[in-house]
Amino acid sequence: MKKNDRFNDIDNALKELQESISQLEGVDKDEIARKVKQFREEIYTGISRWSSVELARHVDRPVLDDYISAIFTDFIELHGDRVYEDDQAVKGGLAFLDDIPVVVIGHRKRSSHLKDYIRHHYGMANPSGHYKTMRLLRLAEKFRRPVITFVDTPGAYPLPEAEYKGQAYSIAQCIAAIAGIRTPVVACIIGEAGSGGALALGFGDRIIMLENAFYSSISPEGYSSIIYGDINNRELAADTLKGTGKDLFREGIVNHLVTEPTGGAHNDPETVIKEVSRMIRHYVRELVDMDLDELLRIRAEKIDRLIPLG
């Protein structure tokens, strides 16, 4: 997290500078403020892929609760997986998107305005989280509700107790369920999206991704550890993985890229969430008007195209 601190330091320093400018007398405040804004944009222009990873992990980045409260109405959370427990890393339930009843599922890295990461295992799901997801998918299919997922996780929960309960098998089942569900699915990649934990929720008929989100089959640190024996080559690993929103949009994997404000989504969360909301509405209305068999045929073709990329 120390590397991530540099973005906090930059943002805080520039905010303090802007506050100091506002208190100056006898100078052209607008011109100085313009130069500060220009300097800020220059700092963040063309940042590295690793810097995008850091921004995807930023402690003030908007999280699942922020999106749910801003986009949906009458959200009712459904708890438990009917197998083990209620996994706090996955949150889901019934809601309305304007007049359309939907099912919302997402990784809950922390609560809105809180730093309760440990309570939610940093958004890393146990098998119970994947079984909860499958339970919600079955409900969505039964009642013909479109599904909207939000992905923000470093990966599946890695401790032995998760493996004892069949972590890999539960991920595979979840991926199969979301690929075969007979209802439209819109996936939103809002932050960090690592490994099988992300794949369990990260596929849809339409995929929306934030510019500095990072979606890859393994984290840069994990890749560096396997290939180079330590995490010191994580920046090179991030470049190799090519998992930023820009990368995946360029490859045609992502349908819509949400541009983030200078310095990351946390600097203007309302605008970012508003754009995500706009595209969710657009895609859901587009998909519900499609013939279901045609939707599934197109989805199968999309999966076939993605397999060689894996």
- Taken in order 15, 17, 23, 28, the sign of the CA dihedral is negative
Tens of pLDDT, residue by residue over 282-305, are 999 999 999 999 999 999 999 998
- Taken in order 173, 159, 191, 249, the sign of the CA dihedral is negative
Using the predicted structure, report yes or no on whether residue 259 has a pLDDT greater than 90.
yes
The CA distance from 279 to 206, in Å, is 10
Contact 205, 149 (CB under 8 A): no
DSSP codes, 158-191 = -SHHHHHTTHHHHHHHHHHHHHH-SS-EEEEEEE
Q: Which residues contact 272 (CB under 8 A, 6 or more apart)?
A: 62, 210, 258, 260, 261, 265
Residue type (1 letter), 118? I
Q: State residue 3's pLDDT score.
A: 46
Q: Please give the structure tokens belonging to residue 172.
A: 């595979």
Contact 139, 108 (CB under 8 A): no
Tens of pLDDT, residue by residue over 160-172, are 999 999 999 999 9
pLDDT greater at residue 308 or residue 278: 278
Tens of pLDDT, residue by residue over 126-180, are 999 999 999 999 999 999 999 999 999 999 999 999 999 999 999 999 999 999 9
pTM, full prediction: 0.87
Residue 47: pLDDT band by 50, 70, 90 thresholds?
Answer: confident
Distances from the Cα of 168 to the Cαs of 111, 132, 222, 257, 308, in angstroms? 27, 15, 17, 30, 21
Q: What rounded mean pLDDT belongs to the chain? A: 90
Tens of pLDDT, residue by residue over 196-246, are 999 999 999 999 999 999 999 999 999 999 999 999 999 999 999 999 999
Residue 32: pLDDT band by 50, 70, 90 thresholds?
Answer: low
Q: State residue 6's pLDDT score.
A: 62
